[in-house]
Amino acid sequence: MQENSSRFARFVSIRVRPGKEKEFAKILEEKILPSAVKEAGLRRVYVLRTLGSPSEFVTFSLWDSEKEAEEYADSGRYRTYVSKISELLEEEPTVSRFAVDIHALGQSVKPLRKKGR
């Protein structure tokens, strides 16, 4: 367990128009994430879908520092990514910012394997 981390996290809530979930996931996976994961200081990105509500998603990203995360947000690249999915959204995504005080790793840190679609 690591305490007093200087790491930083962004949590983005996204509500997709009903029936547009697959199109949203495809654009995210094919057109946004390949370049987003190359951002300086970005360690991990998770895309989560709310159980029981297929059109509600969140992205959780872990950064080396608040400075790097804010540089990304201020650069305009975040807005460019949102513009690629804007027609599929019910409303503007909501961004929450967090200092990561404590994090722990489980025994298995292997990447998740993709399930067949």
How high is the pLDDT of residue 3?
Answer: 43
Sequence ranges of the domains in the chain: 2-98
Asked if residues 11 and 63 have their Cβ atoms less than 8 Å apart, the reply is no
- Predicted local confidence at residue 97, as pLDDT: 95
Query: What is residue 110's predicted lDDT score, i.e. its pLDDT?
Result: 63
In whole angstroms, give the CA distance from residue 101 to residue 117: 37
Residue 2 confidence (pLDDT): 45
Tokens of residue 96, six digits: 């929450």
Fold of 2-98: Alpha-Beta Plaits (3.30.70)
- Tell me how crowded residue 43 is: count the other CB atoms within 10 A of its CB: 14
pLDDT tens digits in sequence order for the chain, 117 residues long:
444 457 999 999 999 999 999 999 999 999 999 999 999 999 999 999 999 999 999 999 999 999 999 999 999 999 999 999 999 999 999 999 999 988 887 876 666 566 554
State the pLDDT at residue 59.
96
**pTM for the structure as a whole:** 0.82
Predicted confidence at residue 106, as pLDDT, reads 81
Where does residue 12 rank: exposed (0-12), middle (13-18), buried (19+ CB within 10 A)?
A: middle
Residue 71 token pair: 């540089």
